[in-house]
Each structure stands twice: as structure tokens, then as C-alpha cells.
Amino acid sequence: MKVLITGASGFIGRNLIPFLVSKGHDVVGISRNPDKILKIDGARYSKLDDGDSSWISEIDDNTAIVNLAGESIFGLRWTNSKKKRILESRISVSNAVFNAVGESDAYVVQISAVGFYPNNTADALTEEFSGGTSFLAEVCKEWENKALKRGRRTSILRLGVVLGKDGGSLSLMSLPFRLFVGGKIGSGKQVVPWIHLQDVIRAISYAIDSQIEGIYNLVSPNLVTNKEFSKILGKVISRPSFFPTPSFLIRLALGEMSTMVLDGQNVSVKKLLNSGFEFTHPNLQDALVEIYNS
């Protein structure tokens, strides 16, 4: 199958391309800066901007499109300009993708995030729960809107905190530990909705192959609290994990972005499991060992 991937230069995109190529797919990586992507033999690349619509001609009824594009949410603070870029980068590309798909029978995998949900709930949140009211929740709602309007031949994958090498949030999360000052953040009771990068890649591939439709949470089936996460991370990288960071310091340093660290999402992945998907890295310690030892 031909698979088009927007956001091909991002953390997930650059790892997804070689995996899909290895499975025999005809892969087209789409990026605003395709010249900066490390090219993979067997894949093709196209530019995403208003002046180049060549990728649109690739779309037919036997095409799958994976929409990963969007400004990174990571940074020291969410300034007004940063928040505008986070939102507009997702909406503009989603509009382009679904306008390009039009009335074709192409299959779309729309990436979203568990930031859609309210924070710190006691019960595990399923896909039927209403969204939260935070900035990230509002971004996710708008991000998903085009996909929901299409209503067919589309899946929405709500990702958790993606852990992997050379990108994502793990390098930032592990920095205090490498400086020997790691430990729980705030109360440490907030749930970390983590998932290994390889399972993200495999779940996207699974969606393409099985053509599942609807909304699916994509987190590990075995979530942990921030305190548990810190203890396991410290153990794996042989660093202490008993230096807590008070909530007020995180809020002072990160401002509104601190909600990503201090608040957690207790999210259920039962729907995806019931569809037949199997995780390769369901346990945090095994996942971190694989990342740091590979």
C-alpha cells in the first residue's frame, strides 16, 4: 500500500518511515523541510507547503495517510506565540490533509494526544469520556475535528508520553537524574501515560493493516505514577531518585506548561487491546532497559 506521512522529519515520523518500508509499503515522507531528513532507501519525499502540492496527486483509494505534523509542545514556556504555533501548525496541516483526501476512499490515521482528557482522574479514562478544558485539551479537540467530521475510513490515535532514543520527552525527563538530582515531581501521585516509541510505530502500522476506525487511546497497558516512574528510571540508569522537586518550582520555571509535568492522565487502552493489538513493551522497566541498552 502507498502510505503518505506528514511530519516525516519529526521524532515519530523518521522512525515510522523505515519500519513501513521494511513491511513493503510504498512510503512518501512529507515535510516542510524534506532536504533535512535523513533519507531512507525505498522511501520517497515531498515538500509540504502552499507552493508544492505534488503529494496530493499521490492520493487515491488505495492510499493511507498518517498525519503526524505539528509544532513540538516542548519548550521552556508556552508563550502566546508558542501556543499559536502549536495550534495553527496542527490545524493547517489537518485541513490540508482532509481537503486533499476529499471524496476519495483513502484511509487516514490522525494522531492526537491524551492531553484531550481531564487531569488526575481516579478512574481510567476511556475514549467515550468528554475532553478537558486545558490548553492542550482544546488543541486536541480542534486537531481531531476534521477527522470526526469525515466520519469514515479514519482512525484517531490519542498518544501518551512517547519514550525512545534521540528525541521525544525522555531526554528532558532524565536530565535531573543524570545530574544526580532526580526524583518525584510534586506529589508524585500523578499518573504518567507513557508508551514506548516502538509500540507507537507498531500501532500505526497495525491501524493501516487492519483499517480500524474510530478513536483509540495509545498508552501502555501498565501505567505508573510519577513517583514509580522516577524510581524505575533512576534504577535503570544507575542514578539516585530521592530528590523531590516541589510543585511551585516547576510552576515557576515552566508556567502553564507545568501542567504537563504536575498533572497526569489515567488512561485506558482496553479498546485497542480488544481490537487485537499486542504491545511489545508493556512494562516500564523493560521498556527503559531496551531504550538505554539498544
Residue pLDDT, tens place only, 176-208: 999 999 999 999 999 999 999 999 999 999 999
Q: Are 20 and 205 in contact (CB under 8 A)?
A: yes
Alpha helices (H) in the chain, listed in sequence order = 13-22, 80-101, 135-150, 170-178, 197-210, 226-236, 247-254, 259-262, 270-275, 284-293
Residue 261: which of 123, 95, 106, 136 has the closest Cα? Answer: 136
Contact 6, 71 (CB under 8 A): no
| CA separation for the pair 210, 204 (Å, rounded) | 10
- Give the Cα separation of 148 and 143 in Å (integer): 10
Residues 226, 128: Cα–Cα separation, whole Å: 25
If the chain, 294 residues long, is cut into consecutive pieces of 10 residues, what is the mean pLDDT of each piece? 94 96 96 82 85 80 94 84 93 92 94 92 90 93 92 95 90 91 95 97 98 98 97 97 93 88 93 98 98 91
* Distance from the Cα of residue 26 to its chain's centroid: 23
**All domains of the chain in start order, with CATH:** 2-163+193-220+265-280 (3.40.50.720)
**pLDDT tens-place string over residues 98-142:** 999 988 999 999 999 999 999 877 789 999 999 999 999 999 999
Q: What is the pTM of this model?
A: 0.95
